[in-house]
Amino acid sequence: MIQTNIRYPKIEGILQNVLRFTNTYFTVNSSLLFLQPFRYISNTTHCKLFTNQPTIKQALKETNTQSISRSINQSINLKNPTYNASDFRLICCATAVLFSSSVVHAEIELNIDDETSIKNAAATIAYDMMTYYKGNQSGGIPGVLPGPPPNPTWGYYWWESGAMWGTLIDYWYYTGDSSYNDDAMLGIQWQRGENVDMMPANWSQSMGNDDQGFWGMTAMSAAETKFPDPPAGSPGWLALAQAVFNTQAVRIDNTTCNGGLRWQVYPYLTGYTYKNSIANGCFFNIGARLARYTNNATYAEYAELTWEWVKNVGYMDEKYNIYDGAHIDENCTDINKVQFSYNSGVFLLGAATMYNYTNGSAIWEERVKGLLNATFTNFFPTDQIAYEIACEAKLSCTTDMFSFKAYLTRWLAATTKMAPFTFDLIMPYLKASAVAAAKQCNGPSPFNDRTCGLSWIKGTNWDGTYGVGQQMAAMSAIFVNLVQKTQAPVTNSTGGTSVGNSAAGGSSTTTLDAVKPPSTGDRVGAGMVTTIVLVGMTGMFGWMSL
């Protein structure tokens, strides 16, 4: 009996066919360390003779399960007199071939018009991405990627772990592959925090409203996609999203810049004196989606309020370009005009959701169209392929920025469900980006010949970068092309099952009914209060990685 835990059905099937010719019991571990000896064996003279046989060589080229199995079967049964059926070296060699770069580590192949091809490509990238995650191993911390920097230097910040689970929830939603559902379920619940508001104390030294917001949007996605509900006694996905909204609603600061959320949550954090688009965009996005899901107008009022503030303060201009943010000590007038794709994406999906919630109102249709045009212009400048304009040209991206296109493509796809008039406009961009992303997944390390880079416009000329962000971005760009085959996100009146709690958020918040948007007079009349200036923005990207 062969026991495996490899999440790669094609390779697992081949392995079963090879190893069934022996009486040896194999337990196959999916770790990359396990693969190393097989790569070594595959380079031995004995193996090279074996793999140079015409039938096997062609089978490897085609990565064809039946052909490989048939060829190995013939060799083992002495139809090729070069080998002895009892020669264990042959079994090792056959196994090694299957785990060598020729098969397991082939570059990503994608037929964008074939559903199975899309699913296989996404599955391969997802598998590789999850090798970075250690939270499901002994001694690991559920829910978080290694990090934050500098422990290790290449590590990841807490928010990106939440974003990764949101991506894997969407992966399940689009492909039906539940391989990572248990990891996502445990990871989100483990990181929910002492007050069940996605603010665990362990991450208080880097807690931003955007960080918390990404975990909140992940919870919202779980509710909308009918991701399996957590066990009894655990907070529902809807309740977690509501907790994030409630805790942030009371943080809106009308005493500086006439409103808006600060970037960081706590006064002692660098960035507390900065108000940025992504923190307010996450809040806008969650509010719009909660309004649609619950049909509670208070959420919609907050979404409208946030939109107005972002426009009035100048973070979004008349052409719907969205800029990064500004400092409160300058009354938010020193706007840093760097643009990131996830800012456009987070506001686009929020606006599309408001369009849906308002039954297709003209004002939200206009806003969706404006954001969509700006997104295409700024972030798809060449051949309809997604491009991170702020850093991609010189590959000066921070660890965070490598992941931004993952959210852009996911939110573009979701927009087609909320505002169906955008479908024909958006899909050519998603298709072109998916094809280009797959071509860029051909780097040699750490996933031999299928490591994904960031610069999709470079085609098969791998840009030399790798990491969770690059894998996540490529995977998302590919699987979202199944959007037409998925149902629209549910609400509590169209099949949603997630349990909510309008008072969620623990001791740091009041109930939703008590949290009302301030009046126009309150917003306009708010005075300017000088707070402690911790540090100024010293570069174009400032504190994006903090």
Whole-angstrom Cα distance, residue 9 to residue 31?
16
Question: 178 near 119, Cβ under 8 Å?
Answer: no
pLDDT at 62: 45
What pLDDT is attached to residue 509? 44
Kindly indicate the confidence band of residue 154, based on its pLDDT and cuts at 50, 70 and 90. Answer: confident
Question: What pLDDT score was predicted for residue 53?
Answer: 53
* 513 contact partners, CB below 8 Å, separation of at least 6: 298, 502
Q: Please state, in angstroms and rounded to a whole number, the distance separating the CA atoms of residues 254 and 246.
A: 16
The answer to whether residue 364 scores a pLDDT higher than 70 is yes
Q: Is the pLDDT of residue 486 over 90?
A: yes
82 part of a folded domain: yes
Q: Tell whether 213 is covered by a domain.
A: yes
Write down the pLDDT at residue 149.
Answer: 84
Q: Which of 406, 68, 493, 492 is nearest to 501 (CA)?
A: 492
Q: Which of 23-32, 151-160, 456-465, 505-514 has the lowest mean pLDDT?
A: 23-32
Q: Does residue 332 share a domain with residue 223?
A: yes
Residue 348 sits in the same domain as residue 301: yes
Which of 99, 126, 144 delimits the end of a domain? 99
The model's pLDDT over 492-545, given as tens digits with 9 standing for 90+, comes to 999 999 999 888 885 554 344 444 443 333 322 222 222 222 223 333 333 333
Highest mean pLDDT among 26-40, 300-314, 497-511: 300-314
Q: Identify whether residues 373 and 517 lie together within a single domain.
A: yes
User: Are 94 and 21 within one domain?
Assistant: yes
Same domain flag for 132 and 158: yes
313-354 pLDDT, tens digit each: 999 999 999 999 999 999 999 999 999 999 999 999 999 999
Q: How far is CA 88 from CA 76, 174, 229, 454, in A?
A: 10, 43, 48, 43
Q: What is the pLDDT of residue 34?
A: 34
CA distances from 259 to 271, 325, 329, 521 (A): 16, 13, 14, 12
**Which residues, listed in sequence order, are joined to residue 382 by a DSSP beta bridge?**
385
Tell me if 403 sits within 8 A of 278, measured CB to CB: no
Structural domain span for residue 28: 3-99
**% of the chain residues with pLDDT over 70:** 73
Q: What integer pLDDT is reported at residue 52 of this predicted model?
A: 53
Residue 491 lies in a domain: yes
C-alpha triplet 80, 86, 89: angle, nearest 5°: 80
State which of 70, 99, 128 marks the end of a domain.
99
The predicted pLDDT at position 506 comes to 57
The verdict on 137 and 282 lying in the same domain is yes
Instruction: Report pLDDT for 391.
Output: 98
Q: What percent of the chain has pLDDT over 90?
A: 70
Domain assignment of residue 465, yes or no? yes
- Shared domain for 31 and 172, answered yes or no, is no
Residues 73 and 192 in one domain: no
DSSP reduced 3-state for 424? helix
Q: What is the CATH number of the domain that holds 487?
A: 1.50.10.20
Q: What is the pLDDT of residues 65-74, one digit of tens each?
A: 444 444 555 5
* pLDDT per residue as tens digits for the range 386-430: 999 999 999 999 999 999 999 999 999 999 999 999 999 999 999
Same-domain status, 21 and 145:
no
- Are 59 and 153 within one domain? no
Assess whether 92 and 180 both reside in one domain. no
**Matching residue, tokens 């990841």:** 156
pLDDT at 245: 99
Mean pLDDT score, 137-151: 92
Question: Which of 53, 71, 99 is the endpoint of a domain?
Answer: 99
Backbone angles phi, psi at 53, to 5 degrees: -60, 135
Q: Cα-Cα-Cα-Cα dihedral of 362, 367, 370, 374, to 10°?
A: -160
Residue 543 within a domain: no
- Is residue 535, in this structure, part of any structural domain at all? no
Q: Which residue's structure tokens are 């997802």?
A: 126
The answer to the question of residue 534 being in a domain is no
| pLDDT in the model for residue 445 | 84
**pLDDT reported for residue 84:** 43
What is the number of structural domains in the chain? 2
Beta bridge partners of 208: 264
pLDDT of the residue at 481: 99
Compute and round to an integer the Cα radius of gyration of the chain.
25
pLDDT at 113 over 70: yes
Rounded CA-CA distance 242/281 in Å is 16
pLDDT band at 440 (very low <50, low <70, confident <90, very high): very high
Distance CA 412, CA 423 (A): 9
Please determine, for residue 116, whether its predicted confidence score (pLDDT) is greater than 50.
yes
Q: Is the pLDDT of residue 441 over 50?
A: yes
**pLDDT digits 0-9 by tens, 42-71:** 444 445 454 455 544 454 444 444 444 445
The answer to the question of residue 151 being in a domain is: yes
pTM of the prediction?
A: 0.78
Whether 546 shows a pLDDT value over 80: the answer reads no
Residue 119 and residue 92 share a domain: no
Over 60: is that where the pLDDT of 246 sits? yes
